[in-house]
Structure 1
Amino acid sequence: MNSHSLSSPELREFIQARHLKPESPWPPLRWNLDSLTLAAFFFSPDLEAARSKLRTTEGSQITAAQRPNPVLQFPLQWTMNPNAGESPWIVGFALDIPIETAGKRNYRVNEAAHLVTAARLQVANVAWGIRSQLREQLLILWSTSERAGLLQQQVELDQKLVSMLEKRLAAGYASTWEVNQQRLSLIQDRNALLPVQQEMAATKVRVATVLGLRAQALDGAELDLSGFGEPIPELPPQEIRLQALLNRADVLESLAQYEASQAALQLEVARQYPNLHLGPGYTFDQGARKLGFDFTGLELPVFNRNQGPIAEARGRRLEAEARVKKIEAKAFADADGAVAAYDTARGMVLQNEHQLAVQGRQLSFAQRALELGQDDRLALVLAQKAELAARLAMLDATFHVQQAVGKIEDAMQRPVSGVPLSFRPNELAK
């Protein structure tokens, strides 16, 4: 992790291979959510662990397809009292050729194939989780950066107001109470700015952690977070619910796990029928040459017919079925909750848009009144501060909308806008 860097040439090749052409020169001058997501896919230790698990599961698929090897035997005996003229040696060779019956190998291969599919979907699920965490932290970073800028403007306006009121106090046009109240407001604004700046620094560290980098790796990298301030496309609720069912990796993984449990049950049912062992062989028995063809190792299903493992496999299939229903219900609940949160946050945005427009008009009136000599600069600064307060409220509402959009994306496991990144395991492999 210490050697990881956004300027890595291997990262450039990874991004180019995913159809997201990097800017020239490398590294890009600005990193956005999509390019940082690909960087996280390249560096993330969590995704590398999921890839390793997938490779192990793919190895088990090879194991499941293997046929049992024949066993070669060399019987060797020596007769202590052979008959006159006969060889005292009894030598030969024999084969034990196992034959699986009742389609056991096909069921085993089918189960392994579904488990590999589930492991691949788990890789995609981990990848989406990384993208979701990255978006959440970048959203917080965007919000705190914007808020810090607005709060800094508010501090500057309060400083102007304090200076104006102090001059009015000296001229006898303002009271000490008014000046002290404005000084208190200035102190409060400065105190509000400090934790926002601290949160910005902490969020950058969290962004680097999600990327699988050290915080210093982001030094000098300019982050393009302007997308969080752009208009949100229309999000039809029915489409969100449909994508939550058809596109989510955890839903598809649970279905693959169910299919694997069904194949495992069929395998246990097939194990009621014993396998065959063919034993062709040749023996040189004290001068006599003998050919043999035996059936060996035939298990007799007398005391049990594999009822216990069949019952266990049937129980695991029922567990897998219940898990599918549980995850599907969660997907629908996530979609409905995200849509409800989006509608509520969108209503807040509309209210704040109206208030911001009102304050914008009031600011224009104050500027015009100052130009005409109908009002003084103090009234203009107060109008600027009121308009700034409306912009802060609008920022909060936009942040909540973007949070709701993130929940919608998590419900669908699909971005609502931007570059359509692939979450297929072959696209996520290094």
Structure 2
Amino acid sequence: MNGETRPARRLAARFTAILLAGFLSGCAHYAALPLATNPPLAPTLAALDRPSPAPPTGPLSVTDIVDLALANNPELKAARLKRAIAAGQTKQAGTLPNPSLTGAFLPLLSGVGTVPAWNVGLGQDLKTLLTYRTRRRAARDSERQVAADVVWQEWQVAGQARQIASDLIVGRTSRASYLAAYQLLAARNAKLEQALAARNVTLVTVAPDRVALQAARSALNALDQKQLALAHQLNALLGLAPDVVVPLATQVDLPPFDPAAIRTGLATLPERRPDLIALRMGYAAADEQVRQAIQSQFPDLVLGGSVSSDNSSVINGGPTATLSLPVFDRNQGNVAITQATRAQLHADYAARLASAIGTVGAMLREMEQLSAQLAEARRDLPAARLAAERAQAAFGASNLDERGYVDLVSNRFAKEQDIMTLELALLDRQIALQTLVGDGLPTVETGTTAP
């Protein structure tokens, strides 16, 4: 008898081990993910991830900077991981609920029975099956919302990269004018200081030059401070160490700017703007959650079957049902919450849509104003330059006093700097506008999935 039992036990043990190994092989395993101990900043430009196999050589264009920012921005890298979270939530929502297994073994302690009692039951919650499709659709819409939010963040990073790189290029170009103004006034002031020391001129004569020189020095210092701050902002955007120097091109390259096409495209802007798409996907998810809350008003129902044996070896079996009685909780609270959430998202989308269209229209009008002011300033510049040249000649011939000479020369530099300020403001508006409409920027891929 024992000889027959032992092989059977070994076979049962092996079968149990195989089942257990198969079950464990399908389970996830823990792996440590330690936090960084040093700031993950690239020490050199070459250490950055390249968006294409052929890295750019020489000075980087604005387009190169945008590509590097999209590939290396630390906040973008973290935001893109949200897609994996949303994908996992969608996968979980698409998983059918597990049935429940119950059982009990009741050894005989006393009484007239002869064997231990036992019972086994298997049940399935039907309510979770009822809300399965709405939960799956809501999770899928939420995943698409996350994807659109990530693309919208990519638009913001690309816009910042364009603006910072463009401002740096324009600032480096305009510095020559600021430096020339300062050097001219510094040279003139040095001569006047020597003349003042020799008592050939009075302090009243030197004072205007000192004031103009101080203003030119302050303007040059302010420009240098701004350039350094922009360089640090660019490094932070690219994930570079603050002391890394990023070589930039001498010209700003941006996508073609067509105000008429932008106005025409306002009708389709809600279909292209990632933030509006994200809000629309969020609203769709909230709408499914309203359906889910309404369906959840039905009572919980668990159907199954059970088999039991009492202490006298009498075996019974049959179907079982468990039904909750909706006396107190009819899910009315969740219905109210989901309906209010959907209403809020409805209002949020309407407000964002109005703001998006209104902002684009307002910026187009601002650009028209700046263009008109720039054209007027450019018309006045030749006269200011000619007046400065004549003033210099007249002053050299002692036909113009010191104050008149300084005023006319300073007016020329002020006109040039006003033009550069207007050009920069117009360029910044263009970059902001192209970011808002997505010119040359990634698009949202929402995809389609069967419900």
Same fold (TM over 0.5): yes
Tell me the amino acid that sits aligned with residue 31 of structure 1.
L
Structure 2 counterparts to residues 336-415 of structure 1, below 5 A: 336-358=361-383, 388-412=413-437, 414-415=438-439
Counterpart code for 1:294: T
Q: Which residue of 2 aligns with 1:137?
A: 164
Tell me the C-alpha RMSD between the 2 structures.
3.8
Which secondary structure does the structure 2 equivalent of 1:305 belong to? coil
Distance in 1 separating the partners of 2:354 and 2:64: 33
One-letter identity of the residue aligned with 1:38: D
TM-score, normalised with respect to structure 1: 0.79
CA apart distance, 1:261: 0.8
Q: 2:292 aligns with which of 259, 267, 272?
A: 267
Distance 1:167 1:115, change over 3 A: same
| Shift in alpha-carbon separation, 1:165–1:234, aligned structure 2, 3 A | farther
1:11 aligns with 2:37: no
CA distance in 1, matches of 2:399, 2:382: 21
Corresponding residue of 1:205: 232
Q: Secondary structure at the match of 2:243?
A: helix
* Matched residue type, 1:98: D
Of 308, 311, 314, the match for 1:288: 314
Q: Is 2:177 aligned against 1:150?
A: yes
1:345 counterpart letter in structure 2: L
SS of 2:111 mapped into structure 1: coil
* In 2: Cα distance, 1:354 partner to 1:47 partner: 45
2:153 is equivalent to residue 126 of structure 1: yes
> 1:347 deviation in Å?
0.9
- Partners of 2:45 and 2:190 lie apart in 1 by 48
Identity in percent: 18
CA distance in 1, matches of 2:65, 2:445: 18
Match of 1:22 in 2: 55
Aligned: 1:56 with 2:56: no
Q: Give the distance between the partners of 2:293 and 2:365, measured in 1 at CA.
A: 46
- Distance in 2 (alpha carbons) for counterparts of 1:100 and 1:66: 14
Equivalent residue, structure 1, for 2:442 = 422
SS of 1:66's equivalent in the other structure is coil
With over 3 angstroms needed to count, the CA separation of the structure-2 counterparts of 1:158 and 1:97, relative to structure 1, is: same
Q: State how far apart, in whole Å, the 2-side matches of 1:174 and 1:234 are.
A: 57
**Deviation (angstroms), 1:260:** 0.8
Task: Report the CA distance between 1:4 and its aligned residue.
Answer: 1.5
* Code of the aligned partner of 2:259: L
* SS of residue in 2 equivalent to 1:74: strand
Aligned to 1:190: 217
Q: Which amino acid aligns with 1:73?
A: T
Deviation at 1:425, TM superposition (A): 8.1
Deviation at 1:63, TM superposition (A): 1.9
Gaps of 5+ in 2: 1-38, 447-451
Q: Please identify, of 106-115 and 348-357, the stretch whose mean Cα deviation from structure 2 is larger.
A: 348-357
TM-aligned CA deviation for residue 125 of structure 1? 2.0
Alpha-carbon separation, structure 2, partners of 1:212 and 1:334: 31
Residue 81 of structure 1 corresponds to which residue in structure 2? 111
One-letter code of the match for 1:268? A
Instruction: State the Cα distance separating 1:197 from its structure 2 match.
Output: 1.5
User: Is the 1:148–1:196 Cα contact (8 Å) retained in structure 2?
Assistant: yes
Q: Which residue of 1 aligns with 2:21?
A: none
1:301 equivalent in structure 2: 326
Task: State the secondary structure of the residue aligned to 2:317.
Answer: strand
- SS of match in other structure, 1:272: coil
Tell me the SS of whatever aligns to 2:76: helix
Report 1:225-244 matches (<5 A): 226-227=251-252, 233-236=257-260, 238-239=263-264, 241-242=266-267, 244=269
The reply to whether residue 324 of structure 1 matches residue 356 of structure 2 is no
More moved, 126-135 vs 249-258: 126-135
Amino acid in structure 1 at the alignment position of 2:243: Q
Deviations 1:130-150 (A, max 9, x none): 223333333433343233211
Structure 1, 178-187 or 89-98: larger mean CA deviation: 178-187
Cα deviation, residue 11, structure 1: 0.4
**Compared CA separation, residues 270 and 377, structure 1 to 2 (3 A):** farther
CA deviation after TM superposition for structure 1 residue 267, in Å: 0.1
**For residue 216 of structure 1, what is the aligned residue in structure 2?**
243
Query: Structure 1 378/198 Cα, relative in aligned 2: closer, same or farther at 3 Å?
Result: farther
The 3 A distance-change label for structure 1 pair 312 and 175 is closer
Alignment of 1:24-43 (within 5 A): 28-43=57-72
Q: How far apart, CA to CA, are the structure 1 residues paired with 2:418 and 2:205?
A: 25
- Residues in 1 aligned to 2:107 and 2:211: alpha-carbon distance in whole angstroms: 110
Quote the Cα distance in structure 1 between the aligned partners of 2:271 and 2:383.
44
Question: Aligned equivalents of 2:178 and 2:240: distance in 1?
Answer: 30
Mark the CA change 1:377 to 1:258 in structure 2 (over 3 Å): closer, same or farther.
farther
Q: CA deviation at 1:362?
A: 7.2
**Deviation for aligned residue 1:245:** 2.7
Q: CA deviation at 1:66?
A: 2.0
Q: Give the Cα separation in 2 of the matches to 1:247 and 1:5.
A: 37
Query: Cα gap change, 1:421/1:404 in structure 2, threshold over 3 Å: closer, same or farther?
Result: closer
- Per the TM alignment, residue 128 of structure 1 is displaced from its structure 2 partner at its CA by 1.9
Asked whether the equivalents of residues 255 and 324 of structure 1 are also in contact (C-alpha less than 8 Å), the reply is yes
Tell me how far 1:208 sits from its aligned partner: 1.6
Task: Please point out which of 264, 286, 304 is paired with 1:279.
Answer: 304
Residue pair 1:108, 1:263 contacting (<8 A) in 2 also:
yes
- How many residue pairs end up in the alignment? 398
Deviates most, 337-346 or 260-269: 337-346
Cα distance in 1 for partners of 2:190, 2:291 equals: 84
Please give the alpha-carbon distance, in whole angstroms, between the structure 2 residues aligned to 1:176 and 1:10.
57
| AA of the residue aligned to 1:234 | D
Q: What residue is the counterpart of 2:143 in the other structure? A: 116
C-alpha contact 2:367 2:426 (8 A) present in aligned 1: yes
Evaluate the alpha carbon distance shift between residue 359 and residue 257 of structure 1 in structure 2; reply closer, same or farther with a 3 A threshold.
same
Q: CA deviation at 1:225?
A: 5.4
| Gapped regions of structure 1 (runs ≥ 5) | none
Find the aligned partners of 2:126 and 2:296 in 1 and give their Cα distance: 13
CA drift of 1:351 comes to 1.1
Distance 1:111 1:337, change over 3 A: same
